[in-house]
Structure 1
Amino acid sequence: MSVSVMAHIADAEEPIAGPWLWMIAPTDAGVGGQASTDVDSLDEESKGKVTEEMVAKNGAKEGDEVGDYEWTPGELPANGDINVCVVNIKMTKVADFNDVTSYALLIIESSKKQSGVTMGTSSDDSLKVWLNGEEVHRMAVNRGRGGLPANINGYQDRFEVDLKKGANLLMVKVSERGGGWGQYVGIDADFEHHIDFDGFQPVEPAGKLATQWAQIKNAH
Structure 2
Amino acid sequence: MKSKFMLLAVCAIGVLLTAQFAAALDKIEGPWYWMITESPAGGGGAAVTDEDGIDEATKGKLTEEDVAEQGITKEILKVKFAENYEWTEGEIAPVGGNNINDMLIKIKLGPGGDVNDHCSYAVINAVSKTTKKGAEARVGSDDSVKVWMNGEEVHKNPVNRGAGDFQDTFEVDIKKGDNVFMVKVCERGGGWSMFAGIDAPLEYNLEFKGLPVEPAGKLATQWAEVKSSY
Q: TM-score, normalised by structure 1?
A: 0.79
SS of alignment partner, residue 50 of structure 1:
coil
Larger Rg: 2
Q: Give 2:121's aligned residue.
A: 103
Q: Deviations over 1:8-50 (max 9, x none)?
A: xxxx721111100000001110111000000000011111111
The answer to whether structure 1 residue 20 and structure 2 residue 16 are counterparts is: no
How far did residue 167 of structure 1 move? 0.4
**Code of the aligned partner of 1:193:** Y
Alignment of 1:135-214 (within 5 A): 135-146=153-164, 148=165, 155-199=166-210
**SS where residue 184 of structure 2 aligns?**
strand
The residue correspondences of 1:115-126 to structure 2 (distance < 5 A) are 115-126=133-144
User: CA separation in 1, counterparts of 2:86 and 2:210?
Assistant: 20
Q: Does 1:55 align with 2:70?
A: no
Cα pair 1:61 1:71 within 8 Å, conserved = no
Count of aligned residue pairs for this structure pair: 183
Of Structure 1 and Structure 2, the greater helix share is in 2
> What secondary structure sits across from 2:182 in the alignment?
strand
The unaligned stretches of length 5 or more in structure 2 are 1-23, 213-230
Residue 40 of structure 1 corresponds to: 52
- Return the alpha-carbon distance in structure 2 between the equivalents of residues 44 and 160 of structure 1: 29
Q: What is the root-mean-square deviation in Å for CA atoms of aligned residues?
A: 1.7
The structural deviation recorded for 1:116 is: 1.4
**Which segments of 5 or more consecutive residues in structure 1 lack a partner in the other structure?**
1-11, 149-154, 202-220
Deviations 1:36-88 (A, max 9, x none): 00000001111111111111111124854322210000000232510111111
The percent of aligned pairs where both chains have the same amino acid is: 50
Cα distance between partner residues in 1 of 2:158 and 2:68 = 19
Q: Could you tell me the TM-score, scaled by structure 2's length? A: 0.75
Task: Give the 4+ runs in structure 1 shifted more than 4 A.
Answer: 61-64
